[in-house]
Amino acid sequence: MIAGIELGGTKTVVATGTAGGIVHEEWRFPTTGPEETLGRFINWLRERGTPTAIGVGAFGPLGVNPGRENYGRLLATPKPGWSGFSIIEALAAAFPQARVVIETDVNAAALAEARLGAAKGLDDVAYITIGTGIGAGILSGGRLIHGALHPEVGHIKVARQAGDDFAGVCPFHGDCLEGLASGPSMAARWGTPAVDLPENHPAWDTEAWYLAQGALSLLGIVAPAKIIIGGGVSQATGFHLKVEALLKNLAAGYFIPLQDGPYIVAPALGQQAGIIGALLLTSHS
Ligand code: ADP
Ligand code: ZN
């Protein structure tokens, strides 16, 4: 038996399935404290058998480099009780025979979309999510990128849209990408939650501008063959086309991967990308 868990800031998804990403059984519940959340997964799994491998996609900051002391451990996070918690130790204690593979939630989603979704067959893919925060997973040459910890694409600096003087909501940087374009930043900037902003509201041009800036940086640094944008905010009508048009403008004909559009696309696996990615991690080297 293969199992997966997607640990999100607000909800957790657990599943049994195959290392090829097929979900057999799935359960979703709100993320609470670490012992309770992992405990629910462990009990649910025990009722179903003994897993040989468990893939984990989790929110961060998180140690994701195998061999480092902090592998599988949550680092300083404002989420109560989670700082320093070792996901890998909790799972190893419950299922000592199981191989546990841990990645960021966004890397898991990037892997799923690259293997089975909107970027099927591609080895160079970025997956950006826009929800409560902004993050990106990156598959490069078939490998999930870590760096010294993991990329923090949400916190890159972006060029201001002309006339924009909104301070931004990131507690660390104010006007980083996440500070200017996350769901909470849209609510703060416009006084209305993103989900309630009408299709023709100028908010969507501003939002697309900042995502195009983020996409341009990714294009310049890792040259993805495709960029997928998911998360709640990305569901606004026409959003991907808007970002692509602005990105092409910024790119000014220079970046070759952009030339075989569509380049900025919606996830094909939707809400399932994370949990499918968690299962796939068990067979990804
Ligand atoms: P989380 O990061 O907590 O998983 P989500 O990815 O669900 O969050 O994104 C939540 C954000 O998405 C909220 O800001 C909400 O207003 C916005 N949102 C949800 N649905 C839509 C929609 N259809 N169009 C635009 N924004 C949306
Ligand atoms: Zn920031």
Which atom of ligand 1 is closest in space to residue 230's alpha carbon?
6
Q: For the chain, which residues make up each domain, given as ranges?
A: 2-104+271-281, 118-267
Rg (CA), the chain: 19
Ligand 1 in reach of 236 Cβ (< 6 A): yes
Task: Determine if ligand 1 sits within 6 Å of the CB of residue 81.
Answer: no
CA distance 52 to 274: 20
Q: Candidates 10, 233, 269: which one to mutate for ligand 1, based on the most atoms within 8 Å of Cβ?
A: 233
Which of left, alpha, beta for 191 (phi over 0: left; psi -120 to 50: alpha)? left
- 18's tokens: 């195959």
Report strand pairing: 99-104 vs 53-58. parallel
Fold of 2-104+271-281: Nucleotidyltransferase; domain 5 (3.30.420)
Alpha-carbon distance of 138 to 71, in angstroms, equals 19
Instruction: Strands of 88-203 (E only): list them.
Output: 99-104, 125-130, 134-140, 143-144
**231 Cβ below 6 A of ligand 1:** yes
Amino acid (one-letter) located at 54:
I
Each residue's pLDDT tens digit, 210-264: 999 999 999 999 999 999 999 999 999 999 999 999 999 999 999 999 998 899 9
- In CATH terms, is domain 118-267 a member of 3.30.420.40? yes
Return d(Cα 124, Cα 224) in angstroms, integer.
5
Model pLDDT, residue 260? 83
Tens of pLDDT, residue by residue over 70-105, are 999 999 998 899 999 999 999 999 999 999 999 999
Tokens 């204690």 belong to 93
**What is the distance between the alpha carbons of residues 267 and 285, in angstroms, rounded to a whole number?**
23
Instruction: Indicate which ligand has the atom closest to the C-alpha of 173.
Output: 2
Q: Rounded CA gap, 23 and 6, in Å?
A: 13
CA distance 104 to 182: 18
What is residue 261's predicted lDDT score, i.e. its pLDDT?
Answer: 81
From the alpha carbon of 186, which atom of ligand 1 is closest? Answer: 14
CB burial readout 190-228, b (16+ within 10 A) else e: beeebeebeeebebbebbbbbbbbbbbbbbeebebbbbb
CA 228 – CA 243 distance, rounded (Å): 11
Tens of pLDDT, residues 48-76: 999 999 999 999 999 999 999 999 999 99
Give the dihedral of Cα atoms 154, 231, 59, 57; nearest 10 deg: -120
Both tokens assigned to 72:
């599988």
285 has a pLDDT exceeding 80 = no
Other beta carbons within 10 Å of 156: 18
Mean of all residue pLDDT scores within the chain: 97
207 Cα–ligand 2 center, Å = 16
**Residues shown for the chain:** 285
Cβ atoms 104, 126 nearer than 8 A: no
